[in-house]
Amino acid sequence: MSRTIRHVLPLAAVALAAPLAAQDRVLQERLDLAALERIRDEGMNRSSIDSLAQQLLDGIGPRLTASSGLRRAQQWATETFRRWGLANVQLEPWDSLFGRGWERVSYSGRFIEPFVQPLRADPSAWSGSTRGTVPCTVVLLEITDTAQLAQHAGKVKNACVMWQPWTPTGPEFDPRPRRWPAESLLAWSAQRPEPPAQGGQGPQAEEFRRRQARNQAIVEFMRRERPVALLVGSGWTYGLLRTGGHPDGRVARDSSYEPVPALIVTHEQYGQLWRLAKRGVATRLEVNVQNRWTNPDRREFNVIAEIPGTDKKDEVVMIGAHYDSWYSGTGATDNGAGSIAMMEAMRILKALDLPLRRTVRIALWTGEEQGLLGSRAWVRRHAVELPKISAYLNIDNGSGRLRGVWGQHNEAAVRVLDQILVPFRDAGIVASRLHPTGGTDHLAFDAVNVPGFQFIQDPLEYGIRSHHSHVDTYERLVLDDLKQAATIVAWTVYAI
């Protein structure tokens, strides 16, 4: 791609055309090192990261899209921005409806046979409720052809149904990396990315479509047959519950019917249920699932706030993070961490009252976990403004410190960003990559020709174990890493 960060390219063009010693002189002349020191001092020595984290995570908690918890968090964010003196603070509605909001009320469950023990589980988001405490017999459906469903018609009414395969796992002997070694980052940055792949082709894609079609037929069958509950295995081991949406997907969210209760069961107990069923051992459970519906108008919002620019105030540098989370923990690493870091970056810039030529805008997105819905809605709604956005910067890979930027194939922009980030080599910045990354809100901007970037971060526990789980809480944060992230974002925005 040939997109670049607008209005900043001359810095890179001059610097990259000069010898190394001259490049240093260019950086001294073009980067405001006095402002850099003030930003570092404010961000590292007078940080509000810990206070923001405790208020959001411990005081408000999970923020499932359209839930009352998210509404409380949005109100808190707007009040905080106004207290800091930011301008144009608002809850901006999407240009489309989201669907029903949902939140847990209570859950209890236990094995009755073959022996009594707690059923360690959590309802999936947009799950329906049971009529009090209900017993059920565990039934395993091993469906390879959807035509086989007909033989089970009328036989699962009083059952708790399993249909997803269980894969055994052994102990974890090999530790996974928590920090990126500098040599790995440098090696990556030297690699040229492959051209964007053409998706949706090949045997793997065909197998994925076949599996999706089978699962869709099964959940539609369950919708008609109305078993007591659906049982789904957790994606994490060691008793961690990796929560997510109802197997019915958007139907559960967008309709007005009561979905079949769906329980996410620990990997270990799901395996136990699977093995008992395969051996023909009668297994009975007792479950009580109570949830409630929220957000009757089905509207959803993004939180927006600004620091107005001066002579180029009609041009914008945007930063953002998704504010919504899953519901069983408090959404600390996904993505309370990114939201707090971006809020703190705005606080730093406002507290220092640095002269900003362009307007700086923050967006706390919603609906990201359901498909980047909030950021895509904002881009649609503001299509005429997009040519005025110089860059969009995003954080959404947990609590790890920033190490560079994913370049989205944008070589000219990577050169600029690496120039800007040079002063933070001592704080963990190594190098950016031309490679793209996905799965978060910068893609909404990248798709419409606005330079949009996600920062590279140390992985820590992101993508494993605690991610999307009931232990994604304050304890997963590394506060010094978040201070580093907020400080770097504030400096990058100021430089742009």
Q: How far is CA 267 from the centre of its chain?
A: 23
Q: What is the DSSP string of 14-58?
A: HHHTS-HHHHHHHHHHHS-HHHHHHHHHHHHHS--HHHHHIIIII
Structure tokens at 372: 């980047």
pLDDT given at position 199 = 59
| Averaged confidence pLDDT in the chain | 91
Is the per-residue pLDDT at 289 higher than 90?
A: yes
pLDDT given at position 13 = 33
Is the per-residue pLDDT at 158 higher than 50?
A: yes
Beta-strand relationship, 389-394 and 452-457: parallel
Q: What is the DSSP string of 243-270?
A: --B-TTTHHHHHSSS-PPPEEEE-HHHH
Question: What average pLDDT does this structure show over 245-251?
Answer: 92
pLDDT given at position 198 = 62
Say which range, 158-167, 175-184, 311-320, has the weakest mean pLDDT: 175-184
Structure tokens at 87: 């301008």
Q: Count of CB atoms within 10 A of residue 155's CB?
A: 12
Say which range, 8-17, 56-65, 137-146, has the weakest mean pLDDT: 8-17
| 3-state SS assignment for residue 431 | coil
Contact 336, 73 (CB under 8 A): no
Q: CA-CA distance, 176 to 173, in Å (whole number)?
A: 10
In the chain the first and final C-alpha atoms are separated, in Å, by: 21
Q: CA-CA distance, 34 to 349, in Å (whole number)?
A: 14
Is the per-residue pLDDT at 6 higher than 60?
A: no
Say which range, 42-51, 141-150, 430-439, has the weakest mean pLDDT: 141-150
Q: Burial level of 336, CB count in 10 A (0-12/13-18/19+)?
A: buried
Q: How far is CA 310 from CA 153, 360, 455, 491, 492, in A?
A: 68, 11, 27, 18, 18
Contact 102, 128 (CB under 8 A): no
Summarised one tens digit per residue, pLDDT across range 34-93 is 999 999 999 999 999 999 999 999 999 999 999 999 999 999 999 999 999 999 999 999
Say which range, 29-38, 89-98, 199-208, has the weakest mean pLDDT: 199-208
Contact 363, 440 (CB under 8 A): no
Contact 317, 358 (CB under 8 A): yes
Is the per-residue pLDDT at 2 higher than 70?
A: no
What is the value of pTM for the model shown?
A: 0.92
| 3-state SS assignment for residue 389 | strand
User: How does 158-181 read in b/e, with b if 16+ C-beta sit within 10 Å?
Assistant: ebbbbbbebeeeeeeeeeeeeebe
Q: CA-CA distance, 465 to 242, in Å (whole number)?
A: 8
Q: What is the largest CA-CA distance in the chain?
A: 79
Nearest to 442 by CA among 347, 318, 323: 318
434 compared with 20, residue with greater pLDDT: 434
Is the per-residue pLDDT at 419 higher than 50?
A: yes
Task: Provide the pLDDT confidence category of residue 168 given band limits of 50, 70 and 90.
Answer: confident
Rounded to the nearest 10 degrees, what angle do helices 337-352 and 33-45 cross at?
130
Q: CA-CA distance, 266 to 212, in Å (whole number)?
A: 23
pLDDT given at position 365 = 99
Contact 462, 398 (CB under 8 A): yes
Task: Provide the pLDDT confidence category of residue 220 given band limits of 50, 70 and 90.
Answer: very high
Structure tokens at 317: 């540098």
Is the per-residue pLDDT at 12 higher than 60?
A: no
Task: Provide the pLDDT confidence category of residue 284 given band limits of 50, 70 and 90.
Answer: very high
Contact 373, 367 (CB under 8 A): yes
Residues 364/370/375/380 CA torsion (nearest 10 deg): -150
Tell me phi and psi for residue 130, to 5 degrees.
-95, 165
255 compared with 110, residue with greater pLDDT: 110
Nearest to 130 by CA among 242, 357, 289, 366: 289
pLDDT given at position 200 = 63
Q: CA-CA distance, 420 to 491, in Å (whole number)?
A: 8
